[in-house]
Chains A and B, each alone.
Chain A
Amino acid sequence: ETGVTQTPRHLVMGMTNKKSLKCEQHLGHNAMYWYKQSAKKPLELMFVYNFKEQTENNSVPSRFSPECPNSSHLFLHLHTLQPEDSALYLCASSQDGEAGNTIYFGEGSWLTVV
């Protein structure tokens, strides 16, 4: 139990579907992240939210749309995805200002696009 909960754990969706990944952190942190982990590729930072404001968007395609309604919740809305978007999507949180900016990860959401 890391204090960061992701749902669903597994998702299979067609290329025309619209779905969302949800993340909730119970650590009182003020920064949240979406990472993408694909097989045989380095971990990719997608989005960063700090105090609910998006502070980083690493050239992520618009078919991925993040939403951060408050500092405890983060969503990743998915629409018209491609098969190459199949990956493990990891949510993480941290406390801005904490030494070293330690980030804590959820268990991940396995996404398969068919």
Chain B
Amino acid sequence: AQSVTQLDSHVSVSEGTPVLLRCNYSSSYSPSLFWYVQHPNKGLQLLLKYTSAATLVKGINGFEAEFKKSETSFHLTKPSAHMSDAAEYFCVVSDRQKDSNYQLIWGAGTKLIIKP
């Protein structure tokens, strides 16, 4: 069965330091993977996605993620945190089902806190 695990419910970093948000998944087929960001009182915004092209994916706002099949991971990183990065981040797996429909599996979310 497919699943997504975001290993940290909260991550706290100082402004200007690197960010690492961890995501592990399990999938029966070749998945697509996404990171979404949700700022306070806002909807969900697509940050980046992996769909079987380059394993290192660059997204908006300086974020990137690397798909590592051997580790079944898709961790989100950013070299230098900014106060505006404070938000909740969701890792999502999209798997093609036997009936050719896609199923989205959502992680529980990681709240990123930026300390001044």
- Residues of A at the B interface (CB closer than 8 Å) are 2, 6, 42-43, 45, 55, 90, 92, 99-108, 110
Q: How many residues of B contact A (CB 8 A)?
A: 22
| A residues in contact with B44, CB < 8 Å | 90, 92, 105
Interface secondary structure of B, over-half rule? strand
**Contact for B108 among A2, A42, A92, A105, CB less than 8 A:** A42
Give Cα distance in the complex from A92 to B46, angstroms: 11
- Measured between beta carbons, the chain A residues less than 8 angstroms from B45 are 2, 105
Q: A2-B45, A55-B101, A107-B42 are in contact. Are A101 and B94 (CB under 8 A)?
A: yes
How far, in angstroms, from A92 to B32 measured CA to CA in the complex? Answer: 18
Q: How many A-B residue pairs have CB under 8 A?
A: 45
Q: Which residue of B42, B90, B104, B106 is within 8 Å of A101 (Cβ)?
A: B104
Binding site for A on B (CB under 8 A): 32-34, 36, 41-46, 49-52, 90, 94, 101-102, 104, 106, 108-109
User: Which of A42, A45, A99, A104 contacts B52 (CB under 8 A)?
Assistant: A99
In the complex, the answer to whether A107 meets B101 with C-beta atoms within 8 Å is no
